[in-house]
A and B are shown apart, each in its own frame.
Chain A
C-alpha cells in the first residue's frame, strides 16, 4: 500500500485522510517539520499532504528564524514575524524536506492563485493544490503521475 505523510498543526487533515484515503494509503502524521523529517528518516512516503497555516504551533516548533524574519521583513517586529512564519509554515516545512532530499509530490488543500502555485513549483518541485477538502480531488492529486 502507498504511504502518505500528513503534515499539519492540528488533526483535521489526519482525521480526513484516515476516513477518506486509508483504503489506498497508509497514513502517518507529523505536526512539525522536525517530526516530518524524523518520520521520513524512519520510513519513506509516497506523498505528502500538507497544511499551509500552522496557527496552533508553538514558536519552538516553527521552521524559520523569528528574529531574522522580523529584521528582514517587519522592521524588527517579532509578533508579525511569528504570524508570517505560522501563515507560511506548510511551505517552509516543505522547503526543509526538499533541502533534506525528500522529493515526493506535496499536496496542499488551498486555493492558491496560479501565480503563487507556479512560484511554489519553481521553488519546491512537485507541488499540487486542491482548493477544498474534496476527497476525490485530493485522492486524484495524490495519485496522478508527476
Chain B
C-alpha cells in the first residue's frame, strides 16, 4: 500500500470514525445515547478494536508516514484517549470533552496528511 493510500485509509478508518460523535456533542449534559456512541467510536471501532489499535494496525507497518510528526502526535493523543476510557465510560463530563477534543485533533491531522499526499492541499 502506498503512503497516499495508507493516509487515505487512516483518515477514513480512524479519523472519520473517531470523530463521528465527538464532532456533534451538544453543550451541557451529554445524553446517554451519545456517550454510548462515543464509547463505540473510541474504544470499539468495528465492535471490538479501540481507535488506537485500528490506528496502529494501519500506521505501524509504513515507515514513510512515521517521519511525519503528526503521526506521532496522533499516536500520543490516542494513548491519552485510551487513558480516559474509564472516565468516559462512566460519563465524566471533563473526560468526555477532553476525549472529544482529542478526537477532532486526530481527525484534522489525518485528513491534512491525506490531503497533502493526494495533492489536494492548498
Interface residues of chain A, those whose CB is within 8 Å of chain B, are 10, 12, 15-16, 19-20, 52-53, 55-56, 109-111, 113-115, 131-135
Contacts and interface: CB of A to CB of B under 8 A. Distances in A.
A111 B111 contact: yes
Contacts of A10: 46
B16 A132 contact: yes
A12 B36 CA distance: 13
Interface of B: 9, 11-13, 16-17, 19-21, 23-24, 33-34, 37, 46, 107, 111, 114-115, 118-120
Main secondary structure of the interface of A (DSSP, over half): loop
Given A56-B46, A114-B120, A15 B24 contact: no
Main secondary structure of the interface of B (DSSP, over half): helix
Contact of A134 (B24, B33, B46, B111): B24
B119 A113 contact: yes
A133 B119 contact: no
B119 A132 contact: no
Given A56-B46, A131-B111, A110 B20 contact: no
Nearest to A55: B13
A132 B110 CA distance: 12
